[in-house]
Every structure is written in structure tokens, then in C-alpha cells.
Amino acid sequence: MRDRPRRRALVTGSTSGIGLAIARRLAQDGVHVVAHGLGSAQENAAALRDIGEAAGGGAAEFVEADLRDRHAIARLMQDLNDGGGLDILVNNAGMQRVAAIDRFVPEDWDDMLAVNLSAAFHTIRLALPGMRARGWGRIVNIASVSGLVAAAGKAPYAATKHGLVGLTKAVALETAREPVTCNAVCPGWVLTPLVERQIQSLASGEGLSRDAAAARLLGAKQPSQAFVRAEDVAAVVSFLCSDAAGEVRGAAWNIDGGYVAA
Ligand code: NAD
């Protein structure tokens, strides 16, 4: 039997946290990974090395684009399409600011809307024609439990993540009769730099130790009282990118220690 050509994936925001775990896992699965992020030069180089090691010494690429800028996204996608296109697109990059809506900085709203939602709209619309032409594709959007339920202080985060789940469902319906799928993954608390910043801000705001602040975050919302592991989120993504998941369409798959069951 002839070997299938190596699949190529873009994982946005894969210089740290969940995105890095997804990039590593897809590399282990034999996928050629294009890593992306806005980390420091050191972080970007370390991530690329990490992903290359996960690939067993195989090659990985690194690309940079500020996802707040739709022209930068268009240039990035043009380069990727010129270089062979994408079989897998994982929209993972995201940002979070927490504040009551009447104290929320309007510029932060603009940035969150751009990175958490509009970026996925642009990458999907620009990746889909190539997937269709090649007859196979997988799109996975990393949403959040905040795409399914809301929390006070997270109006922009909940709005963008609910939007991302809606975008996912609509794209899944537009591709329902094609060998291209689109799904969302909705993690609860995962211990990554994004959440560590929230723990530190809770600790300093409330005069708590770091561990007491972490326990309070989990205690309030996540019945398991344990953080989800980034590697386990990556395993769900790996499944959604497999041939076996060909009829999983428009799902918003929670992995959350019971967060949305409560
Ligand atoms: P992280 O802060 O560790 O990583 C975020 C990544 O996004 C980084 O690589 C960063 O460079 C990139 N990024 C941010 N702004 C960007 C921009 N303007 N342009 C390009 N890249 C940009 O965060 P994480 O916790 O790994 O989160 C990854 C995704 O998972 C996010 O979409 C987040 O909302 C989602 N999520 C996280 C959790 C959690 O508990 N950590 C839970 C649910 C969902």
C-alpha cells in the first residue's frame, strides 16, 4: 500500500500552553506541524525544538503573525497556501482579560474579539478552499467552557467563545456533506500561562498564597477540583483530526472536570 502524504497542520498560538501540547501531539501523530505564536524569540525557538523532538527529530516550521491584524492573517494564509496548503487547522490562540463590563478597557474588547473570534473566521475562510480541493480537512477551534456557560467578569471572553462555538457549528453545516469537519473543544481550567496569570492576580488581589488562589479558582467552578492537563486536551484534538472522527461534526466537546455538568 502506498504511504499517505504527510498531513500539514497550522496550530495557532502554539508557543505555550494548550497550543504547544497540541502541536507536540500532532507531531507525534506524524503530522507536519506549522507552529505559530507571539512569544519571545527564545520561547518560539524552544517551542519549535520541542515540537521537532516530539516528531522524532522531524521538521516543523514556525510562522509569526499578529492575529489582531487581518491583513497579517491574510499574508500568513497566502504563504501557507502557496507552500502546499493545510490539511488541519487548529485555531487555538486566545487571550483573556477579566473585569466587570463597566470597567472593561474597550481596546481589550477589540483585541479579544479579533484574536479569539475574528482570527478563526479568517483562517477558516482562507484554508477551506484548499481542503476542499484536496478532498480532506479537519478544523478544530479551541473554545472554552466559557463558550457554553458564562461567568461574571468574563463578558468579552464568554461572548467571543460563544461566538466561536456558533462559528464552528455553522461551518460544520456548510461542510456536512464533505470530507472536511469542523469541531470545537471546550476545556475547563487548564494550568497554562494564561491561567497562571489569573491565579497570580487573584492571589495578590485577595492576599492569598498562590496555592490557595489556585484552589479557590478550581473550587468555585470545577467539580473535580483538579486542573485538566493540556496533554489531554491535545488527545481530544488528535482524535478529532483522525479519520475515525469523520462524522463528528459541529461538536462542542467539553473536557472540564465536570464544569458544565454542574
Ligand atoms: P497561553 O497564554 O499559554 O497561550 C496563548 C497563545 O496564543 C500563545 O502562543 C500566544 O503567543 C498566542 N497569542 C495570543 N495573542 C496573540 C496574537 N495577538 N497573535 C498571535 N498569537 C497570539 O494560553 P492557553 O491557556 O494555552 O490558551 C490557549 C487557548 O485555550 C486559548 O484560546 C484559551 O482561551 C483556551 N482555553 C484555555 C483554558 C485554560 O484554562 N488555560 C481553558 C479553556 C480554553
**pLDDT, one tens digit for every residue, the chain (262 residues):** 446 679 999 999 999 999 999 999 999 999 999 999 998 999 999 999 999 999 887 778 999 999 999 999 999 999 999 999 999 999 999 999 999 999 999 999 999 999 999 999 999 999 999 999 999 999 999 999 999 999 999 999 999 999 999 999 999 999 999 999 999 999 999 999 889 998 999 999 999 999 999 999 999 899 999 999 999 999 999 999 999 999 999 999 999 999 999 9
Residue 152 domain flag: yes
* Pair 68, 198 in one domain: no
Residue with CA closest to ligand 1 atom 39: 190
* Pair 211, 149 in one domain: no
135: cell is 478532498
Give yes or no for a contact between 145 and 259, defined as CB atoms under 8 angstroms apart.
yes
Q: Provide the pLDDT for residue 232.
A: 98
End-to-end CA distance of the chain: 49
For residue 197, which atom of ligand 1 is closest to its CA? Answer: 2
* Pair 68, 197 in one domain: no
* Pair 210, 114 in one domain: no
C-alpha of residue 58 to centroid of ligand 1, in Å:
25
Pairwise CA distance, residues 131 & 149, whole Å: 32
> Which CATH number goes with the domain that contains 151?
3.40.50.720
For residue 47, which atom of ligand 1 is closest to its CA? Answer: 9
* Pair 210, 238 in one domain: no
Pocket test for ligand 1, best of 66, 76, 95 (most atoms within 8 A of CB): 95
* Pair 204, 238 in one domain: no
C-alpha of residue 3 to centroid of ligand 1, in Å:
34
* Pair 126, 77 in one domain: yes
* Pair 235, 105 in one domain: yes
Residue 2 domain flag: no
* Pair 222, 141 in one domain: no
C-alpha of residue 191 to centroid of ligand 1, in Å:
12
* Pair 117, 168 in one domain: yes
Provide the domain count of the chain. 2
For residue 15, which atom of ligand 1 is closest to its CA? Answer: 9
For the chain, helix (H) and strand (E) counts, in that order, are 9, 7
**Phi, then psi, of 90 in degrees rounded to 5:** -115, 110
Domain that holds residue 210: 190-226
Pocket, ligand 1, Cβ cutoff 6 A: 13, 15-19, 37-39, 66-68, 92-96, 115, 142, 144, 187, 189-190, 192-195
198: cell is 489569573
Q: Provide the pLDDT for residue 58.
A: 74
Give yes or no for a contact between 38 and 68, defined as CB atoms under 8 angstroms apart.
no
* Pair 151, 196 in one domain: no
* Pair 116, 165 in one domain: yes
Write down the pTM of the prediction: 0.97
Looking at residue 127, its amino acid is A
Q: Provide the pLDDT for residue 134.
A: 96
| DSSP-assigned letter for residue 229 | P
Q: Tell me the catalytic residues.
A: 157
Closest C-alpha to 185, from 112, 246, 237: 237
Give yes or no for a contact between 35 and 8, defined as CB atoms under 8 angstroms apart.
no
